A and B are shown apart, each in its own frame.
Chain A
Amino acid sequence: MRYFFSLLLFLFLVGQAWAQEPPATTEPDSVERVKMQIDFLPSALRIGPAINSLIQTAIDQEGTYYGLQADLPIRRFMLAVEYGHADLSRQNEAGVPEEEAFQYKSNGDYYKLGIDVNLLRDKKADNFDASNDIIYFGLKYAISIIDDQINFRTQDNFWETSSISQSNENLRVGWIEMNAGMKVELFKNIFLGYTLRYRFGQRYGNRSTLVPYRIPGFGSGEDETNFGFDYYIFYRIPFRKE
C-alpha cells in the first residue's frame, strides 16, 4: 500500500510538471476566481461496462462476468473507480473416470480505485482536459473478495485414496495496477476505450491451501504479476456546459 500511495504522489507531480501552464502574474479578478474553482470540480462522469466481460459471459455457459469503469475528469486528471463481478463453475469433462472427477466453484467481486492522467493535448482548446479524447496512464489499488471451493479425489498408487474438499471464504486479494489506454468519443457523449493493465504486488489475505482458479479483476490465482486488457464503451454525463 505504501508503494501505491508513493506512486500516486509521483503521478500527480509528473502530471503537474507536464501541464506546463505559466504562473499567474496578476491577481485573478472575481470572474477568474470562479472559473478556477470550477476547474477543480469534476467536469463530467464517464461510466461504462467492459465489453470483453460481456462477451465472455456470452461464451462461457458456466460463468457470469461483468465489469464497470467510471471516471471523474478534473482538468487533466481522472479519479477512476472500477467494480466487477465473476462467478464460475468448472467440473471434469464428460466421460472422465469417477476417481478423476472434480468440481470447482467461485464467486467474487473486485474494486479498484486510483488516478489516471491524460497525456493527449487537445489542440483546439490547447489543454489536456480529460473529459474529451484521452490517452492516459494511471495507477490503481485493487482488491478482490472471493469465495471458492473445490472437491476432488486423490489418486495414488501407494497411499489410500480419499475425498478432499477445500475452500476459501471471504478471501481478500490485493494488488496494484499500472494502467494505460485511451478513450475516444465516437459519437456525442459515447466513448470507446481500452485499458492495458500490468498487475503486480499480488498479496493474499487469509488464503487456505486452495489456490483460486481465477481472481476476479486479476486473472489466474497462481500469478504474482500479469498483463491484462479490457475494452469499454462509456457514456459521458457532462456536469456543466462546454
Chain B
Amino acid sequence: MKQQFLHSHRHFWLWIWILPLALSACLDENVSCVTDAYDTVRVNFLKLDRSDVRNDTIYVESILASNGDLVDVQDSLLSRISLPLNPSGDQVTFYVNWREDSAAELQTDTLIFDYTREQQLVSPECGVNQRYVALRSAYDAFDSVRVAEPDVTLFTNPNVSIYTCQYEYTNIVRARFYKFDTTVTIQNVTEANRDTLTFSRITDDLGNVILDERTALDRVRLPVDTSRNNTTFLFEIENNAGEIVNRSLNVSYIVGNVQFFDCQPQVRARNLDVNSNDYDFTSVVVDQTELTINNNRNLEIFF
C-alpha cells in the first residue's frame, strides 16, 4: 500500500495546485448585481435627404401610451425620445403628437412595438432581471421606422430610428420668362429683366391642358411626362398688339427611379436639356438640370 502511495506521489503537487479551483467551484453563486438589462427603448429621429441622413429635430407636443398615461416629454424640441416598455406585456403602443416645428401643422403618428421578455434569476441577493429582446416595429404611421438594435440594453443607443422622408423629386419644370435685351448677355440676366406674359392657353403634346384661361404670368410650372424622355409644350401667348401667337418648347430629360431606405420610391427626372431646334422662342437657357422641389428655376425663356 505504501509503495502504491509513493507511486502516486509524483502527481501530488498537481493535486495541491488544483485545490483552490475545487473550492471556488462551490462558490460560483457570487455574481455581480450589475447587468446591462434596460426597460426603455431609445428612439432617434433622422431626416432623409437624398442619400444623406442627418439628425432631425421635431416638436413633440405629447406622447400618449396605451395605458392612457403621458410619457414625460411634453412640448419639447427633441431629436430623440425614450419610451418605457411594459414589463407585464409583450407589446406597447404610443401615440406621438408632433409638429415639424412649433408653428407647423399637428401630426399624430402611432408606434407599436413587439418584443420578447426573458426572465432570469441573477442571484438570491440581486433578484430577478427581465430582459427585453427581439424588439420589432409592429406598426407605425411614420415615413419609415427601422429597428437598429433589437435587444434593449443599457448600452444600445438608439434601438429605433424614425426617418422623415424628403420626397424632393418632381416632374415639374419651373420656367421663368425674361425680356430679350441685346445689351445683357443671357448668362447675366437678372430679375430686373423678368417679363410678364399674358397666356391664353398652355397644353402639352399629349393634349393635357396646363392652363386654360387668360392669365398674366412671369413664370409657369410645366409638368413633364415621366413615362418617356421628352415632352413638348404648346403656348398661346397674347402679344403687345393683342394677337395670339403660338410658341412651342420641347424638353428632353432622363427618367429613373430612386429609393432611400424605407421611403417610397421616387421618380427622378434629371439632365434636363433643350436643343436650339426644339423651341421657337427667341432663346431658352437651361439653368438647373434636375427636377426637384428645391429648384426654383429650371429654364429661362426669352419671349
- Find chain A residues with CB under 8 A from B130 CB: 154, 164
Query: Contacts A133-B11, A187-B5, A221-B120 known; A56 to B128 CB distance under 8 Å?
Result: no
| Contact (Cβ within 8 A) B26 A186 | no
| Nearest opposing residue in chain A for B130, CB measure | A154
A170: interface (CB < 8 Å): no
Q: How far is the CA of A84 from the CA of B21 in the complex (A)?
A: 20
The one of A91, A154, A161 in contact with B124, judged by C-beta atoms closer than 8 angstroms, is A91
B218: interface (CB < 8 Å): no
| Contact (Cβ within 8 A) B65 A222 | no
B121: interface (CB < 8 Å): yes
| Nearest opposing residue in chain A for B118, CB measure | A209
B22 to chain A, nearest CB (A): 5
Q: How far is the CA of A100 from the CA of B127 in the complex (A)?
A: 8
- Find chain B residues with CB under 8 A from A100 CB: 127
- Find chain A residues with CB under 8 A from B8 CB: 133, 184-186
Q: How far is the CA of A100 from the CA of B65 in the complex (A)?
A: 25
B61: interface (CB < 8 Å): no
| Contact (Cβ within 8 A) A150 B87 | no
| Contact (Cβ within 8 A) B120 A222 | yes
Interface residue ranges of A188-228 to B (CB < 8 Å): 188, 192, 194, 209-211, 213, 219-222, 228
The one of B4, B39, B119 in contact with A188, judged by C-beta atoms closer than 8 angstroms, is B4
What are the interface flags for B37-71 relative to A under an 8 Å C-beta threshold, 1 for contact and 0 otherwise? Answer: 00100000000000000000000000001010101
A239: interface (CB < 8 Å): no
Q: How far is the CA of A186 from the CA of B5 in the complex (A)?
A: 5
Query: Contacts A102-B121, A154-B87, A192-B15 known; A133 to B7 CB distance under 8 Å?
Result: yes
What are the interface flags for A102-142 relative to B under an 8 Å C-beta threshold, 1 for contact and 0 otherwise? Answer: 10100000000000000000000000000001000000000
A16: interface (CB < 8 Å): no
A242: interface (CB < 8 Å): no
B127 to chain A, nearest CB (A): 6
A43 to chain B, nearest CB (A): 18
The one of A186, A209, A230 in contact with B25, judged by C-beta atoms closer than 8 angstroms, is A230
| Nearest opposing residue in chain A for B69, CB measure | A158
B14: interface (CB < 8 Å): yes
B148 to chain A, nearest CB (A): 23
- Find chain A residues with CB under 8 A from B71 CB: 158
Query: Contacts A164-B119, A210-B120, A211-B120 known; A158 to B84 CB distance under 8 Å?
Result: yes
B28: interface (CB < 8 Å): yes
| Contact (Cβ within 8 A) A185 B4 | yes
Instruction: For the complex, count residues of B whose C-beta is within 8 A of A.
Output: 35
| Contact (Cβ within 8 A) A104 B121 | yes
What are the interface flags for B96-121 relative to A under an 8 Å C-beta threshold, 1 for contact and 0 otherwise? Answer: 00000000000000000000111111
| Nearest opposing residue in chain B for A101, CB measure | B127
B131 to chain A, nearest CB (A): 8
| Contact (Cβ within 8 A) B26 A55 | yes
What are the interface flags for B110-149 relative to A under an 8 Å C-beta threshold, 1 for contact and 0 otherwise? Answer: 0000001111110011011010000000000000000000
Q: How far is the CA of A186 from the CA of B6 in the complex (A)?
A: 9
Q: How far is the CA of A231 from the CA of B8 in the complex (A)?
A: 16
Q: How far is the CA of A96 from the CA of B26 in the complex (A)?
A: 26
| Contact (Cβ within 8 A) A159 B84 | yes
Q: How far is the CA of A104 from the CA of B128 in the complex (A)?
A: 9
What are the interface flags for B1-38 relative to A under an 8 Å C-beta threshold, 1 for contact and 0 otherwise? Answer: 10011011001001100100110011010000000000
- Find chain A residues with CB under 8 A from B120 CB: 210-211, 213, 221-222
The one of B21, B88, B119 in contact with A150, judged by C-beta atoms closer than 8 angstroms, is B119
Residues of chain A having any CB pair with chain B under 8 Å: 51-52, 55-56, 59, 90-93, 96, 100, 102, 104, 133, 150, 152, 154-156, 158-162, 164, 166, 182, 184-188, 192, 194, 209-211, 213, 219-222, 228-231
